[in-house]
Structure 1
Amino acid sequence: MRRRNLAVVLGTVAAHSPLSRADVAGRTGLTRAAVSSLVDELIARGTLTEAATAPGGRVGRPGRALAVSDRGPASLGLEIGVAHLAACVADLRGEPRVWRRVERANAGRPPGQVLAEAAALAAEAEAEAAVQGLHVTGRVLAVPGVVPNAPRGLVEHAPNLGWHGVRPADHWPDSATVPDLENEANLGALAELWHADHTAETFVHVSAEAGIGAALVVGGQLFRGTRGFAGELGHIAVHPDGPPCPCGARGCLEQYAGEAAVLREAGLDATGDPVALLAERATAGDAPTLRALERAGRAMGLVLASAVNLIDPDGLVLGGAYAELAEWLLPAIRTELATRVTVRPWDPEAVRASLLGRRGPVLGAALLTVRRLIADPTRLPAT
């Protein structure tokens, strides 16, 4: 019961700060004595601060305002992408305080080598956070692959990395800092839910790097599927007799709207930053690039229309690389949706680009630990 009440008080202050102790009692229904005891414990655990406020013209002593601490406990998000590594440290307010990203060609490299470099980047990010008075108490790693519900800690299949049955804990240099695992598309969707400025609670989040991932949020909760395999939108068939896909099927969406497919259709080499190159060429009016992006948008619209008809979401969100190419993808996507979503009302503006872009997964990884700590402050030791 005390653990639940600690979470209620911390969650209330996180959502509505600054608040006085009396405000917290009024919002939670707990007695003032109970709130005072809980607040003292949360202050001791470094999660809350309490400072004097101006009396505002009222007679008596100044009030005391509670807020979530911007120092002390923090969380680390990590991401292993096909062509990059990234790290983000967020404080308990959910504010990113450290960003790190390095370009790395991770596809086909030994998992142990990639994970060692990710651990080194994590250590650098944590050291930078420590200078700001933060200490990391939880870590989550985003990977572009299938992370089944059980057993946890296993990357069952990450085809674009070339990983099969990889357990990062077996390769992590420090057993005390091994991160939890989650699929990068799921974390991008959670970042959108928790950090972006919109009210949709049921939406499909589609993102891309080398592959295409998707995540479904239903009623404000991530839908993982029975075994954690939900969201493989990139392997829905656009044309059943289309080109072969590395997954073993034919005509998958990735063969029409994946990064490699768009570059190939545009006649471009995959050197440097492919997304930036596509955006640059499209902005310049390069006809092959514009045709390739329009073709990709049509294929995505066809698949997304099926998702809308099946799930009836509030909206669709383009994240990751798609967010940076949305200017050229959205017209064709919206045309397909208008043609194929006919059994329910559909607003063309309900499909939009995420403002988080390629930072979504690593931010979601950091925020996941923040949410866990707020839900159970007893994870944190008293100072």
Structure 2
Amino acid sequence: MRPNASQETLRESNLALVAATVLAATDGMSRAQAAAATSLTRATVSRLVDDLIGGGILRENGKVAGAPGRPATMLGPSDRLCALGLQVNATFHLARLVTLDGSTVDEIYTPADLMASDPTEVLPRLGRDARTLLARQVGSDRRIVGAGLALPGIVEPASRTLRRAPNLGWTDVEVAPLLGLADVGLSLLGNEADLAAFSLARPAPGRLGPVTDFVYVSGEIGVGGSAVVAGEVMPGRHGWAGEIGHMCVDPSGPPCPCGSYGCLERIAGWRAFEDGAGLPHGSSVSEFLACYDSGHEGAARAVRRAADALETALVSVVNLLDIQTIVVGATSRPWRVSSCRRWRRGWARGSWRAPSTGRT
């Protein structure tokens, strides 16, 4: 039996409703518009908005002409509340402060070769970068409300544990103690592709992005993936769904650090491009493109092989999940799969993007 709602719980519910409604408005919203959208009285909304402004969640953005000709004070997200975003990938680690509207306040990006690295060295270093960012905010009116960490592997959010990250060489790592940010708190731990997909589906609190049903694919040394339906990431039974990079696309293919053979990321990941072109590990995209444009057969073969592997994996995903839009990387450019064969040929030609006939 649920307890009866009190005045305080009702007020908290209304505060959350008004905040979410205003934050979801891309061009701001007046108090009167918020009242109409929430079906609350103008007097109630006015009191709630004052509390939300005082708490640093909303702010007044200026005045515009209202419908009757009277000026209306527009509301929007405040920049006083910040979240600390952290990420470790095979080639970098990053610490970033982000406001409620998704704007970056400050960041520290550190390129590094983190394959087969030691988490007891990498995570404390990332924690120190985070401390540096926080120190830069001393004297401002900004308040840090929590931190989130994205990792390229299988994570267990409830226990704050990274179970396995093959490209990093990490297994069963308890993340929070190594970061050393106990006073900030690790509010969120997740797979990097899942969190990137969520940020595209919901670019700001309460706001849906232009595409809410898609398969997200990220490519670097590894290949990450996530499926999003109605703006929500599909986590799977244990929260480990979306490991597109470890779909087998060639049973006789090269061994993968995950223990399998012929995984997508071993054929379409960055190391496969470097090896195909005869480039040293750590080479840039421009170096590979120069090699490809010069007619290097190994580079061309690597592109063709990656295109075939991507087609095999993504056609299977599309057919299995009935999701017709694929977002590649963090470009926010969704591509509708009307013809995966045509899309594959675009890759094979070296265009590095979907043909124009396939883009939404």
Band the TM-score falls in, shorter-chain normalisation: 0.7 to 0.9
Matched, 1:252 2:260: no
Q: CA shift at 1:129, angstroms?
A: 4.8
Structure 2 residue ranges without an equivalent (≥5): 1-9, 347-353
Question: Residue 100 of structure 1: SS of its match in structure 2?
Answer: strand
Q: Where does residue 350 of structure 2 map in the other structure?
A: none
- Name 1:103's counterpart in structure 2: 111
Specify the code of the residue in structure 1 equivalent to 2:39: G
Aligned to 1:38: 48
SS of structure 1 residue aligned to 2:323: coil
Cα distance, 1:29 vs structure 2? 0.4
Q: 1:118 to 1:29 in 2, by over 3 A?
A: same
1:63 matched to 2:41: no
Contact 1:74 1:89 in 2 (8 A): yes
Question: For each residue in 1:207-236, what CA deviation from the matched residue of structure 2 results, as whole angstroms up to 9, or x when unmatched?
Answer: 122211110101211001000111111121
In structure 2, the CA distance between the partners of 1:54 and 1:168, relative to structure 1 (3 Å rule), is closer
Instruction: Give distance in 2, aligned partners of 1:58 and 1:91.
Output: 33
SS of match in other structure, 1:171: helix
| Alignment match, 1:201 | 212
Relative to the length of structure 2, the TM-score reads: 0.83
Quick one: which amino acid aligns to residue 221 of structure 1? E
Which residue matches 2:304? 294
Asked if 2 retains the 8 angstrom alpha-carbon contact of 1:302 and 1:333, the reply is: no
Superposition pairs of residues 1-383 of structure 1, within 5 angstroms: 1-16=10-25, 17-50=27-60, 53=63, 62-70=71-79, 72-129=80-137, 133-148=141-156, 151-179=158-186, 180-195=188-203, 199-271=210-282, 273-283=283-293, 285-319=295-329, 334-335=343-344
How many residue pairs end up in the alignment? 336
CA–CA separation in structure 2 for the residues paired with 1:350 and 1:195: 27
Indicate the SS of the match to 2:159: coil
CA deviation profile, 1:348-376 (whole Å, cap 9, x unmatched): 769669xxxxxxxxxxxxxxxxxxxxxxx
In the TM superposition, residue 66 of structure 1 has moved relative to its aligned partner by 2.0
Match of 1:8, as an amino acid? L
Q: Quick one: distance in 2 between partners of 1:114 and 1:282?
A: 34
Do the aligned partners of residues 54 and 145 (structure 1) sit closer, same or farther apart at CA in structure 2, a change above 3 Å counting? closer
* Between structures 1 and 2, the one with greater helix share: 1
Using the TM superposition, give the Cα deviation of residue 24 of structure 1 relative to its aligned residue in structure 2, in angstroms.
Answer: 1.0
Counterpart code for 2:313: V
- Cα distance, 1:241 vs. partner? 2.2
Structure 1 residue 130: Cα displacement:
5.2
Do the aligned residues in 2 keep the contact of 1:76 with 1:138 (CA within 8 Å)?
A: yes
**Gap regions ≥5 residues in structure 1:** 338-346, 354-383
Alignment check: 8 A CA contact 1:83 1:105 kept: yes
Alpha-carbon deviation of 1:59? Answer: 7.1
Q: 1:215 to 1:131 in 2, by over 3 A?
A: farther
Shift of 1:291: 2.5
Contact 2:119 2:170 in 1 (8 A): yes
SS at match of 1:170: helix
* Higher strand residue share: 2
The farther-off stretch of 279-288 and 114-123 is 279-288
Per the TM alignment, residue 55 of structure 1 is displaced from its structure 2 partner at its CA by 5.7
CA contact (8 A) 2:200 2:332 kept: no
CA distance in structure 1 between the aligned counterparts of 2:249 and 2:215, rounded to whole angstroms:
18
Distance in 2 of aligned mates of 1:54 and 1:94: 24
Q: TM-score, with normalisation over the residues of structure 1?
A: 0.78
Give me the whole-angstrom Cα distance separating, in 2, the residues matched to 1:255 and 1:302: 14
Give the share of equivalent positions with the same residue, in percent: 35
- Partner of 1:165, secondary structure, is strand
